[in-house]
Structure 1
Amino acid sequence: MTTLAVTPARVLHAEWHKLWTLRSTWLNLALIPLLTIGTGIAIGSAYESGDAAEMDTVLLTLLGMQFSQITVGVLGILSTAEEHSTGLARSTMAAVPTRLPVLWSKAAILGAVSFLTVLATNLITFPLVQTFLTGTDQEASLGDPGILRALVGNAAGLALVAVLAAGIGSLLRSVPTGIGVLIGVVMILPEVLRMLPYDIVDDAVRHFPGKAVEVLTHADPAPGMTTPGTALLALALWTATTLTAAAVFLKRRDV
């Protein structure tokens, strides 16, 4: 009987197949356009000039990303933590004894799928919602300065959140705990810390994942915000640090 060698391409193919055989993958990916487009239409159809004149046009249009952050995060956690909770990880690591190619493959596939799904959703949502905003103070087009960058930046940011969540799931190996930590770090902790009267804390909060995604979703960042480049770098560092920690523990811990 011929035994096939373990190669990066075969590990990548196996993880691709594994991701798409899960019903949770289809459900979470379907929720991204459903919630983003639905929220955008609801806001656009009810909007009148002056309602949110100070809000960035892209951020207003993509307010449904608040749900998408959770959706891609849950998808990321399920891609790693669920495998440990069901015991499938034992078979996976037995087939790939070096272990780390499994984590890298999951991260690469999850990041690519999340980015393309969110980007396609954004490119549909923005012009669709703009049909409701014509003639208001939020009217804009894809060709306006910063619009496309913000739409792509939002997709890149949410893709990094998905990979960050995969790292959290690999570290904690528990779906409920992973989701709780993700929501706490991405959505709740920054708002709690902002109540502290210290400039250094306020500066640190600007570089948390959720705040970084918000900056990336601005066509014209407001005064006092970090730049999109800094926000992307901060989010990439959060993701890289979490994945590195996950890789270290994956090598040292029992499956």
Structure 2
Amino acid sequence: MTATAAYRVTRVRVLRSEWSKLWSVRSTGIALGATALLTIGLGAFIGANYSPGEAAGTTGPVQVALLGIQFGQVIIAVLGVMVAAGEYSTGSIRATLTAVPRRLPVLWAKAAVFGAVAFATLLATFFVTFLVSQGFLSGTDQEAALTDPGIARALVGSAAGIALIGVVSLALGAALRGVPAGIGAYIGGVLILPEVLGTLPFGAAEDAVAYFPSRTVEALMATGSAADLLAPGVAFVALCAWVTVALGAAGLLLRRRDV
């Protein structure tokens, strides 16, 4: 093997580098662990205190079990911002882009590694949460089994949806190059803006809200039907479109800037 081949930049090596960087900071394990503990704990608490008929506003047992995921979603989003913007705050982004001068592979690798880790963590957490909550919901109107129609799909869809929102947040962090700015953009654009649009007296605004990331996750989590939610397949496509636009904008800015 020549010296040039030994130090050649490849996709696999960029992925390995981003994997190492992701786990080199304690915040990754703390954030993922906190997400799992909060989700499972709240799922158990909600299940233990559930009374028949209380879930009239939900669309199935998966949504009941995962009512506490709002906290976990925020943690995953903040972690996504930190994964991308953290290198700018420490200045290590200069070394990263010097090692990978084409730049875009760094962004794609960050998104792929973080998205895969977030999805795997959330998927395991959601299945455990569902089983724990069902230990308390047995005999109620929210009793269900993993083999029931739509349950496994909703659990997998929920994990994928929140992992993709994490990737959108990562793209915001990369585009804005700052943790506070990225978190602010996530809170304003993903959490607050759809709520504001939903209060407007226009049918078009209400229709548009259904395509926002937070509402698409609700659609992916549902095992029943609701007039204000998209079909799961449409919701997943809409969320993937958000990811594509966010990463595309971040990639364009990454190519045009000096750092």
Question: What band does the TM-score fall into relative to the shorter chain?
Answer: over 0.9
Question: 211, 223, 227: which is aligned to 2:231?
Answer: 227
Q: Read off the aligned partner of 1:53 and give its amino acid letter.
A: A
Residue 8 of structure 2 aligns to a residue in which SS?
A: coil
Is the contact made by 2:103 and 2:255 (CA closer than 8 Å) also made in structure 1?
A: yes
Aligned partner of 2:68 among 64, 70, 85: 64
The question of whether the paired residues in 1 share the 8 Å contact of 2:218 and 2:229 is answered with no
State the 1:54 CA deviation. 4.1
Q: Stretches of 4+ moved more than 3 A in 1?
A: none
Q: Letter of the 1:41 partner, please give it.
A: A
Matched, 1:2 2:3: yes
| Cα distance per residue 1:11-61 (max 9 Å; x no partner) | 111110000001111111101111110111111111111112342211110
Listed one character per residue, the Cα deviations across residues 145-192 of structure 1 (whole Å, up to 9, x for unaligned) are: 110000000011011111111100000011011111102222111111
How well do the aligned residues superpose, as a CA RMSD in angstroms? 1.2
Q: What residue in structure 2 maps to residue 164 of structure 1?
A: 168
Aligned with residue 23 of structure 1, among 12, 22, 26: 26
Separation in structure 1 between the aligned mates of residue 141 and residue 183 of structure 2, nearest angstrom: 38
Write the distance in 1 (CA, Å) between the matches of 2:228 and 2:40: 29
Counterpart residue number, 1:200: 204
- 3-state SS of 2:3 partner: coil
Alignment correspondent of 2:46: 43
Q: Is 1:182 matched with 2:186?
A: yes
Amino acid in the other structure paired with 1:59: Q
Question: 3-state DSSP class of the match of 1:151?
Answer: helix
Q: Does the CA-based 8 Å contact 1:164-1:238 persist in structure 2?
A: yes
Identity value in percent: 52
Give me the TM-score of the superposition, normalised by structure 2: 0.96
CA distance in 1, matches of 2:56, 2:245: 37
The Cα of 1:220 is off from its aligned counterpart by 1.4
**Other-structure match for 2:146:** 142
Stretches of structure 2 that go unaligned for 5 or more consecutive residues are none
Greater shift, 220-229 or 151-160, is seen at 220-229
Matched, 1:131 2:135: yes
1:252 to 248, 251, 256: 256
2:111 alignment partner in structure 1: 107
8 Å contact 2:215–2:229 — kept in the other structure?
no
TM-score of the aligned structures, taking structure 1 as reference length: 0.97
The answer to whether the 8 A contact 1:36-1:121 is kept is yes
